[in-house]
Structure 1
């Protein structure tokens, strides 16, 4: 096939303008619709070469394929996942669909089942799905209290080595922040540093929260670790953990990247209060990750009552204020979210619907590509430009309406310019673990 060639052109490719580096050089021959630029892309030795406005050349120096205005995206970046929890739904379903039900169910399952083999196989299954769908980089949170931290980080390190040529993997410790006030918490910070991971945890409202946050920053600064928090995953307007973390970032003069996920309560706070927090988040340089699918599933769930809010944070307001906002998949087929398939396109598709990321689409494609890549410190990932690796996802869809209306199961994924196998792993692979 053409994609096995070392040198070829993709003709008539529609690329989101915000993902095309140096896009101002290419004057479109027709006014772009939905900020899509139609270009011709040269790929040589696995690297993107020349990019020109479609039709600039009447002939090409290498074989070419006409994409017929099909969309081309860079590979996806999924920066907030829980691969260690994934795919346990069949053996551990959430009894009532609530956050509390999920937490209790996961804690029970982990104590009974989460040995090295169990965690390895379920995490590997998630990686197979992600890779086949066109994801290039993943950050996963790992439940890390007590002996589980050692088990899961060792499994992660093994998978990171085995998949190094296919996926960029990062790991974040996950405990409640009070854990870092204990000797076990300090040992966990040492383990995270040893593993090259990111220090993280769940911030929840309690009398000692400021002390817990301060200690977490101290541990991170001493070990030169990045920080990634779960914050305000609830519908309580009094939950203001994000505000306190922003204050702490400034107080500690912390220079590393801080990321906060969820931030749901921001959406139910008075507008002036939310605006003050958003301004502080901007000043602190914090990145925000919204998880629309999981939070739509969990938040405002009460028996026999229709939910009346969507569970997502103030995505539009944060972005308007200049705060980097990413969107990620979060949990997959576990008690926190009973669905999902590690597909970056599904994440974007659902986010567009849930959070109204359309009309105009503008640079919203960045939330599952370039922006999370930047928050993960990956300057060469999640964008399309000359000199970058040809890690691309090709769709037949010619517009956002077409892209987001069908499954796009027939997408073509290129890694280093070569077409990869996109057959998804069979669920039966995990049957002996789940039944």
Structure 2
């Protein structure tokens, strides 16, 4: 067998023995304890190799806005207003530059599959979508990008928004999002988005229930529509910070509802911690939905970045191992098995949610990332930054381990 490259001593699963991975024509061609070949080699050193980290919820069009969009209150309402004012001045090239900055951060942190949320409304039109569509093409050498168009400021209350969403879908958007809590008719928006999704045969991804008041929610309406349309397994909901305020019995009922309706949960720890609980002056609630409890209940649970350097989240470096570590701290998870499950929420679980098989197997594209850790649990515990990555067998980034210069 003629190989283009061989990866030596790669650990493909936690606790598994290291193996060699042979690559030819951009795909995995062989996996064996030892591959005899004269092909160039990369050493994995017994560390964990994965197909890549997956960011299931990332906003590229409104990233890196700290120089022009202030949110002194730190609230969700303040962030929406600040970005609403700023985006009237967005241009194609501006979005392209800011989005590229974030994607390049993510690539260097080992992410090679992203779902980007893109705002659509009469104020911005399709400018954000068109720029992110170009980002998708420009960065295909390193990652795969899904585009989810959604109405951040409402749909039924903003005439013309629905028509723009449909145009974006006709022009290549991959799926449709929603934000019912900003609409004057939240349940009407949910129903209409399901109808459009059915017409285009696409998945849905909602921003949902982003506050700490458990007395009302839109989760039930989403679950009902998912079942009614037969869209189980094709719907995700992000934030859902209300879940963090439920006592055990009510939480179990809510997670069972999500499981039975096939609704996935995406938790966004950095944004949710930053924005929620600001009306408390002590005993401030965390406001982070319990992804690990959702996963234990049978719900597809993922952890993602959401926003980077903007009024919703004024920090970020594109690191999903950092985000997983942040979640583990908030959820007070420290056992190895628990940390392994958290790692799966930034790798295997979001890969499946976005339609990718996370397994490294013969015949699969040689999209590979090396972690400086022998397991996913160790990667979360140490906030491991990946050392290098391949996309279709071609190097996409390198981040060598530091070299210490001892005296003498």
TM class by smaller structure: 0.7 to 0.9
Deviation at 1:229, TM superposition (A): 0.4
Deviation at 1:302, TM superposition (A): 4.1
**1:370 — aligned with what?**
348
Indicate how the Cα distance of structure 1 residues 415 and 252 shifts in structure 2: closer, same or farther if over 3 A, else same: closer
**1:10 — aligned with what?**
8
CA deviation string 1:246-270 (max 9, x = no partner): 0121123336711111111012123
Indicate how the Cα distance of structure 1 residues 402 and 376 shifts in structure 2: closer, same or farther if over 3 A, else same: closer
C-alpha distance in structure 2 between counterparts of 1:86 and 1:344, whole Å: 16
**2:404 — aligned with what?**
none
1:287 counterpart SS class: strand
**1:292 — aligned with what?**
269
Deviation at 1:325, TM superposition (A): 0.7
Matches within 5 A, 1:219-234: 219-234=196-211
| TM-score, with structure 1 as normaliser | 0.82
**2:178 — aligned with what?**
201
8 Å Cα contact 2:120-2:161 kept in structure 1: no
C-alpha distance in structure 2 between counterparts of 1:396 and 1:265, whole Å: 36
**2:369 — aligned with what?**
393
CA deviation string 1:145-197 (max 9, x = no partner): 11413111111222222223332111122225851476513302321321332
**2:28 — aligned with what?**
48
C-alpha distance in structure 1 between counterparts of 2:311 and 2:217, whole Å: 25
8 Å Cα contact 1:157-1:195 kept in structure 2: no
Of 256-265 and 202-211, the range deviating more from structure 2: 202-211
CA RMSD of aligned residues (A): 2.7
C-alpha distance in structure 2 between counterparts of 1:346 and 1:148, whole Å: 32
Matches within 5 A, 1:328-347: 328-347=304-323
Deviation at 1:291, TM superposition (A): 0.7
Indicate how the Cα distance of structure 1 residues 249 and 41 shifts in structure 2: closer, same or farther if over 3 A, else same: same
8 Å Cα contact 1:84-1:123 kept in structure 2: yes
Matches within 5 A, 1:411-426: 411-422=387-398
Matches within 5 A, 1:310-321: 310-321=286-297
Of 145-154 and 200-209, the range deviating more from structure 2: 200-209
- Given candidates 352, 359, 365, the residue that maps to 1:383 is 359
8 Å Cα contact 1:177-1:212 kept in structure 2: no
Deviation at 1:138, TM superposition (A): 1.0
Indicate how the Cα distance of structure 1 residues 320 and 132 shifts in structure 2: closer, same or farther if over 3 A, else same: same
Of 334-343 and 71-80, the range deviating more from structure 2: 71-80
Q: Name which structure has the greater RCO, CA cutoff 8 Å, separation 6+.
A: 1
C-alpha distance in structure 1 between counterparts of 2:49 and 2:397, whole Å: 18
| TM-score, with structure 2 as normaliser | 0.87
C-alpha distance in structure 2 between counterparts of 1:392 and 1:330, whole Å: 24
C-alpha distance in structure 1 between counterparts of 2:53 and 2:343, whole Å: 10
Whether 1:353 aligns to 2:350 is: no
8 Å Cα contact 1:98-1:299 kept in structure 2: yes
Indicate how the Cα distance of structure 1 residues 182 and 331 shifts in structure 2: closer, same or farther if over 3 A, else same: closer
Deviation at 1:362, TM superposition (A): 3.8
Deviation at 1:399, TM superposition (A): 5.2
- Given candidates 182, 202, 210, the residue that maps to 2:187 is 210
8 Å Cα contact 1:205-1:241 kept in structure 2: no
Of 177-186 and 35-44, the range deviating more from structure 2: 177-186
1:274 counterpart SS class: helix
Indicate how the Cα distance of structure 1 residues 410 and 257 shifts in structure 2: closer, same or farther if over 3 A, else same: closer
Whether 1:100 aligns to 2:82 is: no
Deviation at 1:47, TM superposition (A): 2.7
CA deviation string 1:58-117 (max 9, x = no partner): x73446555433232321111101111111113324313222222222122212x21222
C-alpha distance in structure 1 between counterparts of 2:306 and 2:194, whole Å: 24
**2:141 — aligned with what?**
165
**2:402 — aligned with what?**
none
C-alpha distance in structure 1 between counterparts of 2:168 and 2:276, whole Å: 31
C-alpha distance in structure 1 between counterparts of 2:377 and 2:250, whole Å: 36
Whether 1:89 aligns to 2:70 is: no
- Given candidates 295, 302, 305, the residue that maps to 1:326 is 302
> How many matched pairs?
393
Deviation at 1:44, TM superposition (A): 2.0
Deviation at 1:328, TM superposition (A): 0.6
